[in-house]
Amino acid sequence: MIILAATPIGNLGDASPRLREALSEATIVAAEDTRTAVHLLRALGIENRPRLIALHDHNEREKAEEVVALAVDTDVLMLSDAGMPTVSDPGFHLVEAAVAAGVRVSAIPGPSAVITALAVSGLASDRFTFEGFLPRKPGDRRAALRALAQEQRTMVFFESPNRLAASLQDVAATLGDDRRVAVCRELTKFFEEVKRGTAAELAEWAAAGVKGEICVVIAGAEARAADPETAVDQVLALVASGTRLKDATAEVADATGLSKRDLYQAALAAKPAAPGKQAGTTANGSGNAIRSTLSSD
């Protein structure tokens, strides 16, 4: 099988017993950087010296089938330089090829900069999206941020320390000076630091220069109340496509910030009447009550 193994993102003490055992027994290791893999083995005091295959961004597509062919007969351990392979690291094309070939894929879970940054950010963690690295070019970066302007989930990014100040300035310019941000630096390492504040405040702080591995966590946009009648139309469209009224109401209420109860009542009032009944009328009144019902919340 292919075994995706999470490696420490800074602190060697985070190497799990399963990782140590797998490294001790591996005969073949596919590594983002074979030099880093050798350093990890030595740092953990593991004497095993498996066959090492370089598998990185520049050769993964070409090497994937070769590695999968090896995994038919023996376990192949996949390592990225830090964290979980495939998460903004090599490994996806290998997994894709393994799935296509019917070769089993498993994982040894462990350290993740994305989850660690989210956990310590102080921002909402119940719903989030990982966006990888922002584009290098300023115009492309601002366009990417504008596309995320209405994203209500917390967003996690990786960023180069050399581009951090410019990226935070663009966050302030596109998402608002007061958008809440956490910059997580050198996670799990001796100089770990989490700086929290508004986009404008952190852009000013980063202008002096920041070093180390960086994760940026940005609060999602606040829900904006939609036009009440448009919201009801959205609910009815979902119902027409087969969604239960209760579920459709909850989905639109979450997206718009409108009251779930009032939206449900307004949608009932607007539903086409059954045969023999007057359309647009319920026990709460006529369809004209839709706007007043929702607007009064």
108: exposed, middle or buried (C-beta count within 10 Å: 0-12, 13-18, 19+)?
buried
The pLDDT value given to residue 193: 97
Which overall architecture, per CATH, does domain 114-218 show?
Answer: 2-Layer Sandwich (3.30)
- Beta carbons of 103 and 37 less than 8 angstroms apart: no
Rg of the chain, C-alpha, whole Å: 25
Reply yes or no on whether the pLDDT at 13 is more than 90.
yes
Q: Show me where the domains of the chain are located.
A: 2-111, 114-218, 228-295
Mean pLDDT over 258-281 rounds to: 71
The pLDDT value given to residue 253: 83
**Would you state the structure tokens that stand for residue 239, as one six-digit string?**
């119902």
Mean pLDDT over 167-182 rounds to: 96
- Beta carbons of 264 and 249 less than 8 angstroms apart: yes
Reply yes or no on whether the pLDDT at 164 is more than 50.
yes
The pLDDT value given to residue 94: 98
Residue 272, φ and ψ in degrees, nearest 5: -55, 140
**Would you state the structure tokens that stand for residue 156, as one six-digit string?**
């996690």
CATH 3.40.1010.10 fits 2-111, yes or no: yes
Name the pTM for this structure: 0.77
Write the pLDDT tens digit of every residue in 95-132.
999 999 999 999 999 999 999 999 999 999 999 999 99
Residues 6+ apart with CB under 8 A from 9: 82, 83, 111, 112, 113, 116, 187, 188, 213
Residues 6+ apart with CB under 8 A from 102: none
Reply yes or no on whether the pLDDT at 15 is more than 80.
yes
